[in-house]
Amino acid sequence: MITLATPRLSCEPLCEADWPFFLALEQNPDVMHYVDDVRSESVIRAAFESRLPEWTPGAAHWLCLLVRETATGNPLGVTGYIHREADCAEVGFLFAPGAQGKGFASESLHAVCEFAFTTGNIRRLIATVTAGNAASRRVLERSGFVLEGELRESYWLGGKWHNDWLLGLLRHEFR
């Protein structure tokens, strides 16, 4: 089983017992503001179940890690990546409002990047962020991601088209 540890966090694969937290996270309008429109519980459940199978490098589904604060054991969010090509993957993360602004996303993302570049044999990581989501962009930039471009009217959200920021990080750039 994959376990990533940082000074304050432990990150382990999502399991069935994490369903209530995952559902609450995905139903929270503050968390999902830049991510997705309101979805039914059955659609969220399908997304959750797609992340439960055992993951190995190269798998076609998300490596989805539940992020917990080590001191309390409380779940804070989820993070991980999905392969887009053999040596390229897209990272993602969602954190509960009470966990935002405390460096947890940056700390866990750094651990995910390190794992991807070493154990996962990834050469390039990418991230797609809805334009305007400055907090997520800052998290990525703190880990070394750089803005590579902006896709105009790329994402339908809230009844209108939004631009997407594209960020990337190469293995040799990672610090």
Q: Tell me, what's the pLDDT at 57?
A: 87
Give the number of residues written for the chain.
175
Contacts of 41 (CB under 8 A, 6+ apart): 23, 27
- The residues with which 8 forms a beta bridge, in sequence order, are none
Q: Tell me, what's the pLDDT at 1?
A: 83
- The residues with which 67 forms a beta bridge, in sequence order, are 11, 77
Q: Tell me, what's the pLDDT at 126?
A: 98
User: d(Cα 19, Cα 53) in Å, to the nearest integer?
Assistant: 14
Q: Tell me, what's the pLDDT at 72?
A: 97
User: d(Cα 17, Cα 24) in Å, to the nearest integer?
Assistant: 13
Q: Tell me, what's the pLDDT at 175?
A: 84
**Whole-number Cα distances in Å, 155 to 21, 35, 52, 69:** 26, 10, 26, 32
Q: Tell me, what's the pLDDT at 151?
A: 97
Q: Tell me, what's the pLDDT at 58?
A: 87
Phi, psi of 81, rounded to the nearest 5 degrees: -155, 165
Structure pTM?
0.94
Q: Enumerate residue ranges in the chain where pLDDT < 50.
A: none
